Amino acid sequence: MADNHTIEPQVLPPNPEKATLEGRNKYLGFWFFLGGETVLFGSLFGTYLGLRGGTADGPGPSDLFHVDLVFIMTMLLLTSSLTSVFAIINMKRGNYKGLLLWMTATVVLGLAFLGFEIYEFYEYNHQGLGFGVSAFASAFYTLVGTHGAHVTFGVSWITVLLIRYRKSGLTLTNAPKFYTAVLYWHFIDVVWVFIFTVVYLLGIGG
């Protein structure tokens, strides 16, 4: 068997991401990680909510936020969540090309989101909201910046997977990898929903 180099193709199982012990462990372990991430973002949200009134004569939320821009960013991220759902459905159908295509769409939408965010931070900095200007500024940049770092990491993660497995076809090794990357991406979207509501909408409304 060791010197037989031809690999026998396997039959596609209904849930290829959970067909092996390794896949099941990755799936479960990743959810444990997401439970911890929830607490990380919880502490950043708590800090922001505690400090958002402390603008120290610098610009405040209602002077800065462009909700139209943030609304477009939200739509981009929501749509990228849907494209990653399509990617997983294609994976379960055994359509590997479809998986790669929808994952690429997810990456493109994620990059568009990042572009808007960088523009946004640049604008705020230009309007006098440096990181150390006020307690509000530090709390805002830390919370939204940590989310942006997660988006950056997610985009890089999916890109690496797409390059690494561009020719391999769907296997029991890469199915859990794509699946956990998609879970991560959805989680980023969940966090953004709260940032959109708590930071931006409450920032101009409350």
Partner 1 sequence: MDPHADPSAPLQGEPSNQTKRKLKREMRTQLVSFVLMIFITSMAFFSIASDVIPNGFAIPFILILAGLQVVLQLYFFMHMNEKGTGWVNAMIWSGLFVAALTVASLMLLIGVVKY
Q: Which residues bind partner 1 (CB under 8 A)?
A: 7-14, 16, 19-22, 28, 31-32, 34-39, 41-43, 45-47, 49-51, 53, 67, 71, 74-75, 78, 81-82, 85, 89, 92-94, 168-173, 175, 183, 186-187, 189-190, 193-194, 196-198, 201-202, 204-206
Which residue lies nearer to partner 1 by CB, 49 or 108? 49
* Contact call for residues 105 and 77 (beta carbons, < 8 A): no
**What whole-number distance in Å separates Cα of residue 144 and Cα of residue 155?**
16
**What whole-number distance in Å separates Cα of residue 82 and Cα of residue 43?**
28
* Nearest approach, Cβ of residue 68 and partner 1 (Å): 8
Which residue lies nearer to partner 1 by CB, 27 or 121? 27
* Nearest approach, Cβ of residue 120 and partner 1 (Å): 16
Which residue lies nearer to partner 1 by CB, 126 or 206? 206
* Nearest approach, Cβ of residue 118 and partner 1 (Å): 22
- Pair of tokens at residue 25: 């462990």
**What whole-number distance in Å separates Cα of residue 24 and Cα of residue 15?**
10
Nearest partner of 119 among 189, 68, 48, 194, judged by Cα: 68
* Nearest approach, Cβ of residue 40 and partner 1 (Å): 9
Which residue lies nearer to partner 1 by CB, 89 or 128? 89
* Nearest approach, Cβ of residue 111 and partner 1 (Å): 20
Which residue lies nearer to partner 1 by CB, 41 or 140? 41
Pseudo-torsion of CA 195, 199, 204, 205, nearest 10°?
A: 80
* Nearest approach, Cβ of residue 48 and partner 1 (Å): 9
**What whole-number distance in Å separates Cα of residue 27 and Cα of residue 159?**
20
**What whole-number distance in Å separates Cα of residue 188 and Cα of residue 84?**
12
Backbone angles phi, psi at 117, to 5 degrees: -65, -40
Which residue lies nearer to partner 1 by CB, 14 or 132? 14
